[in-house]
């Protein structure tokens, strides 16, 4: 028996029906690389939300062992899980951009961006729903560490007394739910960043078209696991290179070359002193100089830090910390 028009209309107005439909319009976009245990737990938690989300897109960024094998071994065969695999590590930023693009292609109205070590609380999706409104560009989750302590550098501004729904300038990619209409307006994360500060630059673009709101009761535990294979010395470090270069990129895009140069001078002075105390001095100094120059000019050479690390990792055994 078909429902009457009145019944259908009442169902459409039912808050529970509306919440269910809204939750099902959320697709998670998760990037992973060589951390299968964290990824499996991340996906489990997303599939077990108290408000069922529409899907999970996993971007396998060239892991040594395909993550699909680990999901199968863990018994995760939910049709809502979609795995994309690259044959090499294209960088976290590319992973986010491509996972988000696939989520939009699958029909997501909201794309929930996170790393594989971002473990959502059971009601995280449900707690976001009141903030998913047409005028909102994105909704940021409240990030905590494994002890439940807030991660202050993952949102800006940060204040313990920030209310639920407070406007933000920035949220990290550890947990931010972006409207597909916002993506249509500002595009995807800039893959040239590779990693580091990509979320900062993306939030600058989002903020131009609408507010980024804090869903304070929607919590994500960020586990911060370092890869066991990471043995790079303190200075000649791939992540450090992208931190330096991309920080200056962001300042340059936001405030211009003069502001970037002003920020670069004390940063370079400090790094140069450190480089001159490192071994080999010349290579260490060139490493930080290259990062600063590329940050100021916008020049892209993402292969440089990897090549530099490969050449110098055996030679450099220890360095002082900043």
∠ CA 11-17-19, rounded to 5°: 150
Maximum CA extent, the chain: 81
Q: HSE of 299 in the Cβ direction (CA atoms, 13 Å)?
A: 11
| pLDDT single digits (tens) 42-96 | 999 999 999 999 999 999 999 999 999 999 999 999 999 999 999 999 999 999 9
pLDDT tens, position by position, 200-214: 999 999 999 999 999
User: What's the average model confidence in pLDDT over 228-254?
Assistant: 79
Tell whether the model's pLDDT for residue 305 goes beyond 50: yes
Per DSSP, the three-state class of 26 is: strand
Tell me the fold of 5-222. Answer: Spore Coat Polysaccharide Biosynthesis Protein SpsA; Chain A (3.90.550)
DSSP state for residue 214 in the 8-state scheme: E
3 state SS for 94-123: HHHHHHHHHHHHCCCCEEEEEECCEEECCC
Q: What is the CB-side half-sphere exposure of residue 155 using CA atoms within 13 A?
A: 27
Give the model confidence (pLDDT) of 257-274 as tens digits: 999 999 999 999 999 998
Quick one: what percent of the chain has pLDDT higher than 90?
Answer: 77
One DSSP character per residue, 34-102 reads S-HHHHHHHHHHHHT-SS--SEEEEEEES-SS-HHHHHHHTT---TTEEEEEESS---HHHHHHHHHHH
pLDDT of 106 over the 70 cut? yes
* Reduced DSSP (H G I as helix, E B as strand, rest coil) percent helix, strand, coil of the chain, to 5: 45, 20, 35
56 closest CA partner among 112, 124, 95, 127: 112
Question: Is residue 173 very low, low, confident or very high in pLDDT (cuts 50, 70, 90)?
Answer: very high
The domain locations on the chain are: 5-222, 238-312
pLDDT of residue 228: 37
Which residues share a beta bridge with 32? Answer: 60
Pairing of strands 110-115, 26-32: parallel
**Using one digit for the tens of pLDDT, what is the confidence trace for 124-142?**
999 999 999 999 999 999 9
Residue 226 reports pLDDT greater than 80 = no
């Amino acid at each position: 028996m078909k429902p009457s028009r009145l019944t259908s209309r009442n169902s459409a107005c039912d808050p529970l029906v509306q919440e269910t439909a809204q939750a099902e319009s959320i697709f998670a976009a998760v990037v992973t690389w060589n951390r299968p245990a964290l990824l499996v737990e991340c996906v489990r938690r997303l599939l077990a939300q108290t408000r069922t989300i529409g899907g999970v897109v996993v971007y396998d960024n060239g892991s040594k062992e395909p993550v699909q094998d680990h999901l199968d071994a863990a018994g995760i065969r939910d049709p809502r899980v979609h795995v994309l695999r690259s044959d090499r590590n294209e960088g976290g930023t590319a992973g986010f951009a491509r996972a988000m693009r696939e989520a939009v292609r699958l029909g997501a109205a909201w794309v929930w961006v996170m790393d594989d070590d971002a473990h959502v609380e059971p009601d995280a999706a449900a707690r976001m729903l009141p903030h998913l409104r047409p005028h909102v560009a994105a909704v940021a989750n409240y990030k905590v560490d494994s002890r439940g302590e807030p991660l202050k550098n993952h949102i800006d501004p940060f204040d313990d007394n920030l209310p639920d729904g407070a406007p933000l300038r920035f949220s990290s990619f550890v947990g931010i739910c972006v409207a597909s209409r916002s993506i249509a307006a500002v595009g995807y994360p800039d893959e040239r960043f590779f990693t580091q500060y990509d979320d900062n630059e993306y939030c600058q673009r989002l903020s131009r078209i609408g507010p980024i709101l804090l869903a304070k009761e929607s919590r994500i535990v960020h586990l911060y696991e370092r890869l066991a294979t990471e043995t790079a010395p303190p200075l000649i470090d791939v992540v450090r290179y992208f931190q330096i270069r991309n920080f200056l990129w962001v300042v340059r895009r936001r405030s211009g070359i003069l502001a970037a140069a002003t920020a670069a001078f004390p940063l370079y002075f400090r790094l140069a002193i450190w480089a001159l105390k490192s071994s080999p001095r010349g290579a260490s100094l060139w490493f930080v100089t290259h990062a600063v120059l590329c940050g100021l000019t916008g020049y892209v050479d993402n292969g440089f830090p990897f090549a530099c690390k490969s050449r110098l990792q055996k030679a450099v055994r220890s360095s002082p910390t900043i």
